[in-house]
Amino acid sequence: MSERFYAGIDMGGTNTAIGIVDEEGNVVARCSISTCRYGNLKDYADALYEATEKLSEEIGGMEKISAVGIGAPNANRDGEIACCQNLPWEMPAPLAAVVRQRFGIPVAVDNDANASAAGEMIYGAARGMKNFITITLGTGVGSGIVCDGNIIRGHRGMGGELGHITVRRDNARSCTCGKDGCLEAYCSASAVARTAREWLAENPERESLLRSLPSESITSLDVYEAAMKGDSLSKEIFDFTGEILGEALADFMNISDPEAFVLFGGLARSGELLMEPVRDSFRRHLMPLWRRYETKILVSTLPGADAAILGAAALATRKNG
């Protein structure tokens, strides 16, 4: 059995997943608690401790856990949650300090995108790399930039938000962040569904398997399944999405000269349906200087069910390593 273990905590606005991870990146025990059930941060930290203590019976007790890592929404470099509308706590919430006091061991807190980058560096596709960018293609588009082995956070700890780089200016889509034309508005899973709805409305005569579904209920998975059945409209949606994402990745080359991009999230698991147009667009939009080098575009190897826990545990590994 591993000599050192870490607690990885993935804090969502509704539920919190807790796992105990060994040095090889195996999640040996896991559970979840409600996040919003607790009216103050101290009660939440007590619940985290009690759940983790119960899990630790699998490894011989709490003394085997070296550190705690927490991936939390809107967390900053000071270990605080700057704001979160889903939580009833007073903001900013000093998450790291309160959990550290309760557990009595080192605690590392970061936002979920940076936790994902740490997870890829310690346990995943970027293991051994010092310069790479993770792009999470979920409901939104998250990102983590690692440069010379360090996660880029910026002056206020909120840097590296590549999902809100402007990729379109003319007739641009609105984004949930309040801007127009963001990468997230075109290349997230929700954006794929949005493209499908728009194209179906704009081309009423065009046949598509998607027309059998209520327009407002279409998801990116529906588009993927239709494309895999040969639906030409759905395939073109993935081409459109991949074109914009590849163009953006080519621009991101100029930010940090990464060895690789690692794509994560449900949309990234679409295989060559997405990856082929991404790679083609990336090559075409690269600045000529970069074309002599090989920059990898990889899909995350972290297991989907445990990826967030592993990312949080990786923060603890770096904190205590």
> What would the two tokens of residue 206 be?
């065009």
Helices 220-228 and 232-256, packing angle to 10 deg? 120
Asked whether the predicted pLDDT for residue 19 surpasses 60, the reply is yes
- 3-state class (DSSP) for residue 4: coil
Q: Domain residue spans in the chain?
A: 5-121+305-320, 128-300
pTM: 0.85
- pLDDT for 73 equals 80
- 3-state class (DSSP) for residue 23: coil
- pLDDT for 142 equals 87
Helices 220-228 and 272-285, packing angle to 10 deg? 100
Cα separation, 174 vs 168, in Å, equals 10
- pLDDT for 317 equals 86
The 10 Å Cβ neighbour count of residue 293 is 10
H or E stretch at 29: strand 27-34
Question: What pLDDT, in 10s, does the model give residues 236-275?
Answer: 999 999 999 999 999 999 999 999 999 988 899 999 999 9
Contacts of 204 (CB under 8 A, 6+ apart): none
Distances (CA, A) of 94 to 71, 113, 183, 187: 14, 19, 31, 33
> What would the two tokens of residue 244 be?
């914009």
Contacts of 209 (CB under 8 A, 6+ apart): 226, 229, 231, 234
Question: What pLDDT, in 10s, does the model give residues 198-207?
Answer: 999 999 999 9
Question: What pLDDT, in 10s, does the model give residues 33-42?
Answer: 998 888 899 9
- Is residue 163 within 8 Å of 142, Cβ to Cβ? yes
- pLDDT for 2 equals 61
Cα separation, 298 vs 84, in Å, equals 32
Per-residue confidence band for 85, with pLDDT thresholds at 50, 70 and 90 = low
- Is residue 166 within 8 Å of 184, Cβ to Cβ? no
Question: What pLDDT, in 10s, does the model give residues 146-157?
Answer: 999 999 988 877
DSSP character at residue 163: G
Cα separation, 312 vs 10, in Å, equals 6
Whether omega before 92 lies within 30 degrees of 0, making that bond cis, reads yes
Intrachain domains 5-121+305-320 and 128-300 with the same fold: yes
Mean pLDDT, the chain, rounded, equals 92
Burial class (CB in 10 A: 0-12, 13-18, 19+), 163: buried
Query: Is CATH 3.40.50.620 the classification given to domain 128-300?
Result: no
Question: What pLDDT, in 10s, does the model give residues 292-314?
Answer: 999 999 999 888 778 889 999 99
Cα separation, 296 vs 263, in Å, equals 11
Per-residue confidence band for 231, with pLDDT thresholds at 50, 70 and 90 = very high
Cα separation, 48 vs 103, in Å, equals 9
The percentage of the chain sitting over the pLDDT mark of 70, rounded to a whole number, equals 98
- pLDDT for 183 equals 97
* 3.40.50.720, 3.40.605.10, 3.30.70.260, 3.30.420.40: CATH of 5-121+305-320: 3.30.420.40
Cα separation, 89 vs 73, in Å, equals 13
Asked whether the predicted pLDDT for residue 1 surpasses 70, the reply is no
> What would the two tokens of residue 30 be?
């896991």
